[in-house]
Amino acid sequence: MDFTVIICTYNRASNLPICLGELSRQQNVGDMKWEVLVVDNNSTDNTRETVARLAEELPVSIRYTFESQQGLNYARNRGAQESLGDYFCYVDDDIRVASQWLAALFQTLKSNDADAAGGRIYLDDSIILPRWIKPEMYGFLGHQDFGESPFQMDGISKYPFGGNMAFHRRVIDKIGLFNPLLGRKGSGQKRAELFKGAETDFFHRLAAAGSRIFYAPAAIVYHQVMPFQLCKRYFRTIHYNAGVQKAYHDPQTYHRRLFGIPLFLFAQTARNIARYLGQFFTRGPDWAFRQQMTVGHFLGMMRGYMKRFHENSR
């Protein structure tokens, strides 16, 4: 098998007909042996039955597997372990792939002897974004576009996003699997579930191992943003939780601390609060919202350091 397309899903059976339907219409893949593997991450809806029906109806090889341990990275790791392809990739169940998507990924990986590759992620053009979501915030909704030209990514400042990333099987031997302590849990609609950072950790480890990561601009997908992702609460939560994770897993040792929080963080947080208040009163709450997210990130870091301090003090 040349390629396995892995779809990790949780209680979104209604998304699968469109997602799998677009996958079944791939072009320029006639010489490729490929499959789709749907990883059911402990769903309670009719995901299993929906996959079975679509496997009968669609002209593409579709397999089903079940991962009972809740969490996106548990599902990703199950998919990687059960994939049959020399290469494997991930798309989310709310993704629609363009017709040349798989061929572009395969060509990029093969021609560059790459360990990993990823392409562009556009927001579905049917989505009407609130005015407070500025273009620089689109990345929090999964958007990624580095332009028309392919290039080698460094894995640190530039790397593929989770909705459109592919790998050679050898990366598992190089760095292992995704860290299940990071990433989203469940549907991602509760504060305790809504965590990012899993791809950042994985690609940073790939970069440290000297891996070759490439950008494939012709590998295009479209992200169908969920309604709850267009609320300010969603943006605040992902930035706060990112701060918690960053601090909790920080390998640095700081000698000047208060309740585990590095003292310099108090001054940084205060400056960002002042900046937010200045923007709020001069430009209004919508304009200042991005800065509010930054404040939340610093508060999350303080929470993360305190959490680790109290756990280590027991």
For residue range 192-240, what is the model confidence (pLDDT) as tens digits?
Answer: 444 556 788 899 999 999 999 999 999 999 999 888 889 999 999 988 9
pLDDT class of 6 with cuts at 50, 70, 90: very high
Question: What mean pLDDT is reported for the chain?
Answer: 92
Taking the C-alpha atoms of residue 173 and residue 110, their distance in angstroms, rounded to an integer, is: 18
Give the pLDDT confidence score for residue 183 in this predicted structure.
61
pLDDT digits (tens, 9 = 90+) for 62-105: 999 999 998 899 999 999 999 999 999 999 999 999 999 999 99
Count CB neighbours of 276 within 10 A. 19
Global pTM value: 0.87
Residue type present at position 295: V
Question: What CA dihedral angle connects 194, 198, 199 and 204, to 10 degrees?
Answer: 140
> Which residue type does 221 have?
V
Report in angstroms the alpha-carbon separations of 153 from 25, 118, 146, 206, 261: 29, 10, 10, 11, 34
- In this predicted structure, the answer to whether residue 191 has a pLDDT above a threshold of 70 is no
Percent of the chain with pLDDT over 90: 76
pLDDT over 60 (residue 186): no
Residues 15 and 99: beta-carbon distance below 8 Å:
no
Q: What was the pLDDT predicted at 246?
A: 85
Domain ranges in the chain are: 3-227, 232-313
C-alpha to C-alpha distances, 28 to 106, 128, 213, 220, nearest whole angstrom: 11, 33, 23, 15
Burial of 125: CB neighbours in 10 Å, binned 0-12, 13-18, 19+:
exposed
In order of 90, 189, 236, the CA distances from 229 in angstroms are 21, 9, 11
Phi, psi of 234 (to 5 degrees): -60, -50
* Per-residue pLDDT reduced to its tens digit, 111-162: 999 999 999 999 988 888 998 999 999 998 989 999 999 999 999 999 999 8
Q: What is the pLDDT of residue 190?
A: 52
Which pLDDT belongs to residue 193? Answer: 47
**The domain defined by 3-227 carries CATH number 3.90.550.10:** yes
**Percentage of the chain lying above the pLDDT 70 cut:** 95
- Find the mean pLDDT for residues 271-295: 96
